[in-house]
Every structure is written in C-alpha cells, then in structure tokens.
Amino acid sequence: MAPYLNHRTAGETIEWMLRGVAAFLALLVISAGTLAAQQTTAGAGDYVGSDSCGICHSEQFEQFKKTYMATVLAEKYPVEQQGCEACHGPGRLHMEAESEAEDEAARQQAATLIYSFARHSSAENAAKCLLCHRKNENERLFSRSKHLAAGVFCADCHTAHLTATAEIPTKPTAPLRNLFSIPDWPAERQWLDNRLLREPQPNLCFNCHKDIEALFQLPVRHRVNEGLVRCTDCHNPHGSLSEYELRAGNHDTCMKCHVEKGGPFVYEHAAARIEGCTACHTPHGSINLNLMKRRQQRQLCLECHAPPEAVGIPHPRLGFQAAGECTRCHIDIHGSNYQEKFLR
C-alpha cells in the first residue's frame, strides 16, 4: 500500500487529535492574553495609522497596500483593527522612541515597543492571526489540523505582505494547448497574492510533502504540475473532519469532478461507497492506467472477490486462466441502474 494511505491505529489517531487540541488551546490562551493586554493598555490615541508606518517602512507599506489584507483592514473598522496596527499593535510609542533614538541601542529598544513577528515564536504569531482568523469554515477546524499538531503555523505558508509572483512558464504548444485548459497566468498571480502564500501551489506544499511530489512525476497522475488541479481542491490545509485533511469524505471529494461516477445508483459498488475511491485508485500518481493500484484489474478485484485460498478468477466459465479483465463483462463497475452484477 502506498505510504500516504497507511492507516493509523486508534491510539495513534487519538494521540494526533490530543496534540492538535492541546496546541490549539495553547494558541487560544496566548491570543486571549494578547488581545486583553492590547485592549487594556492602548487607547485610540495610541494608534497612528498605516500612513505613518509608511514613512519608515516604505517598502513593506507599498507591498501591503496591494494585498487583500489591506482591503479588509479598512477604515470601516475600529482604529485598532485597521491596517498595519491590526497585527502589529499600537504604534505611537514605537514611533516616538524611534524618532528620538540617537544610537543603535536606542533603536533596538524602540523596536521592542511594537509587536514584531520576527521576534516572536511561530505559536505566538499564529495566536495573533487567530484573533481574527477563526470565524469561517476553513479556519474553525484548525484545532484538528495535522499541520498544527506537527508544529506548522500560519507564517510557514503565509505572509501578510505581498509575495513575489512566480515566473510565468511558457504556454504549451499544440497539441497540448488543445488538451488542457491552462489557467490564465495573471489571474493565477492574483490568486496567489489574495491568499498571501509564500509560494504558489503546488511548490509550497512540495516543500514538505516530497513523497507526494514524487508521485506527481509518474506517467499517470492528476494534472497538478500543469496547474489544472490544486492541492487545496481536495485538501483543506487548515483542518478537516475527514482523513488526510480531505475537504469531504473520500468518495465525495472525488465526485466534485468525477460526477458521472458518483451515482446514486440502484445497484451500488460497495467498495466505492464504503471504502471510497482509494480502494481501487491512487489519488496522486501511478504507473497504471486510470490511476489503478494494480496493473492488472483482475488482481485488484480479487483482493475482495476471492477467499484467501482461491487461485485465479473465481468464475465457472472462465476458470483459472491467467489473463482477462473482469471489466470485459462487468462494465459498469462504479454502479448500475439496471444490472445487479454490473454486467453489459
């Protein structure tokens, strides 16, 4: 079985869940303390506005103005939730100390008077993000995220400032351009900027998931490298109620694209409904046609449709011959509305 399909034991699953919950609770405690401290020590007069920050931090300010984050943290919100200071905290003391600093020691001291993400741990920075980012469906499940349990935090994948756009690759030539609908690259760059990712997918994910990257080099694969499918089309990196951080169950995730295989059918294939598509297919890449787990289909079928002592094909007419595929006769293998055995 492929390494990414290995099932954990119940004890290992519980351990992962407990680690994630413990990490999430720690983040909530940190974020609550951070918010309380900020609210009790800062008044409206302590906030100077992003334009003031841009006097010294011009490069970061110009980057930030182009982001979706800058649009969200606009003047319609209270002053403590606007622009730079929504994340870095009130800037008046920092500005005054910086303007009066006469040597490096004084400037270093001034830098401590405002929240600097470079000076704090990943967990503390994530707690800052969670002051706002725990309201929508994607982020509510962060406590269950394998990323959180593994010590991967927001800033490992995201940056609050504009990221450098990826180099535009050469457009595919015929016949590839007729086979694939390659995304519009300006739109792709806008998508990258709006999500504030450090790198575009799939490169960002491949930085850690090297085993999965290797699978996408196999001859039969989902078109992730070509940009037709993204990792987050199937997985929710912020957490999920499903295994492997899938956005839905094994079967339902695949049916978002492979609608014709989803049914419901009068006669269902139990493997597809109960175990899901990965009972027969490998989702990332394979050397076999149709992403099958076995080169010969009958070998795959016999994993379920034969007792342990059986040899060959358990069919009275075909006997124990060495060749032949079950789908020669059982053509509607995903399910049928007409034939219980999925026959022609």
Between 268 and 13, the higher pLDDT residue: 268
What's the mean pLDDT in 269-287?
A: 89
Query: At residue 202, does pLDDT exceed 50?
Result: yes
Whole-angstrom Cα distance, residue 250 to residue 150?
23
**Residue 123 structure tokens:** 């967990």
Strand 285-286 with 220-221, pairing: antiparallel
Q: φ and ψ at 207, to 5 degrees? A: -60, -30
Kindly report, residue by residue over 316-330, the tens digit of the pLDDT: 555 445 566 788 888
Whole-angstrom Cα distance, residue 94 to residue 108?
10
Tally of CB atoms within 10 A around 77: 12
Whole-angstrom Cα distance, residue 109 to residue 270?
66
Enumerate the domain spans of the chain. 14-131, 263-336
Kindly report, residue by residue over 151-200, the tens digit of the pLDDT: 888 888 988 887 655 444 444 444 444 444 444 444 444 444 456 888 88
Which of the 8 DSSP states describes residue 110?
H
Residues belonging to the chain: 344
Q: φ and ψ at 66, to 5 degrees? A: -90, -5
C-beta separation of 115 from 86 below 8 A:
no
Query: At residue 310, does pLDDT exceed 80?
Result: no
**Residue 90 structure tokens:** 């009130």
C-beta separation of 293 from 300 below 8 A:
yes
Residue recorded with tokens 């334009």 = 51
Single-letter code of the amino acid located at 35: L
Q: What is the pLDDT of residue 283?
A: 92
Residue recorded with tokens 């294939």 = 269
Provide CB contacts within 8 A for 174, sequence distance 6+. Answer: none
Mean pLDDT computed over every residue of the chain: 77
Between 215 and 161, the higher pLDDT residue: 215
Strand 285-286 with 335-336, pairing: unpaired
Hey, which of 109-113, 119-123, 139-143, 209-213 has the most confident mean pLDDT?
Answer: 209-213
**Residue 247 structure tokens:** 């956005």
Whole-angstrom Cα distance, residue 67 to residue 178?
34
- Nearest of 185, 192, 272 to residue 226 by alpha carbon: 185
Direct distance between the N- and C-terminal alpha carbons of the chain, in angstroms, rounded to an integer: 31
